[in-house]
Structure 1
């Protein structure tokens, strides 16, 4: 989900710049399959756009990024960035090694919770928050409230929801090809999925942490009559976290485009293949 600079939520397309997106960094993340069936996370991000609404107010750029970029499709998703890290340097062995620490101890509804009160826990939380905030559930008013309440500091929840309600307006939803309630028209499958590639701790001190999550995302409408096919984008989300009530919560977040690798020569799949893949492959619970 690369951001362009139109109506993105947090540094990407869409609201204030790009509602969907997340972070990247030197350290890589390890993934664990969810208990049972695939989870409800999914997210996406597209060309970045400039933040204009609540995202600027609350600093949450992870929400509509993909959709907005998607709504204003036409930007070049290719980028010249490489993987995050020190220029010209190679990551040390620990950056890609699994820590062996259990990522979460429980779930808050369908979302992972109970992250460790340490640097690893903050990175795991940031990754999973990025996934949830970039999912199709953010397009429905009720499910959006559930996600925001589960991932954010209670002090910013209501103001954030107010801004997001304006961002996910009927006009915006119609512009990206969805129904007024955020669902896809008959015969089409709406795809919005964020996939963290790696995390990096920018700052960690006791009950606060700033984590970057480098992500790739998918967003678009899959189906025979779709005029906005599913496309991939790359972006980095920075989340400022605080330890509240025994778990990490987001106080604010921002998003930037890339690093974006060179596109491969893979053949683009058909709309039906993409729709079947999204329905058939569940997401992960991410852990450092």
Structure 2
């Protein structure tokens, strides 16, 4: 199985393929290394948000209401505090047209390259459910790309009669604890897909907020509804096949490990690197988030002790 670094590298490739640096000219002046570290951090925060929401479902399933509530509170901090703050620090959100162009590039890459490749690998690995799911995701992403193209055309040519789609909010698919349904490279690809879909959902949430601030309420609905499918359906389906949600005890242990790594290694490294590059605001932000993650690790540890004693 690939390492965490390899999986993160794969999603970084997806981010770059999506053209998310298109608005760099309007971004705050930070060094390339700080921008790269911030994008890596954003991927991690988006994934933590989605994963903790999934863990909360697992805790609900096992009747651990207090743990479920803790996971949901922490998920909110990761998405609406850390992810949003990091995005603002590098000017991640551009104009509505730039955001749509970035979204189109990402969805087209997933529809034509990433998910078809994952589907072929799943077929070779003999995991039919994953092959079918990746094929379905590719088709969904093609629809998203077309909807975003129509929305961009409507913004660029407001005098015309273009259809301005708003998409459709999906009913979330429940995620239950269970083992992986696939192995080998297909399991790696499922885990990579959970990261990519969580990142897409989080960034579309930011794009929706920006669209509404511009008075583009229909565009805000389109981004929100697309985000609902990326998180509530695509992330959930790939997470279920990947066996992402284990027992509540194991989920807490995994969360503790992740938060401790971010608190003691990742964010301190990013902070030192930003300071060395002269990006003091980013260095302070990374240090602040490291402190938050240490607090999360502490609260998860307390919850684990309560659970097993």
- Shorter-normalised TM range: under 0.3
TM-score scaled by structure 2?
0.24
> Looking at CA atoms only, which structure, 1 or 2, has the larger radius of gyration?
2
Higher strand share: 1
TM-score scaled by structure 1?
0.25
Higher helix share: 2
- Name the structure, 1 or 2, with higher relative contact order (CA <8 Å, separation 6+): 1
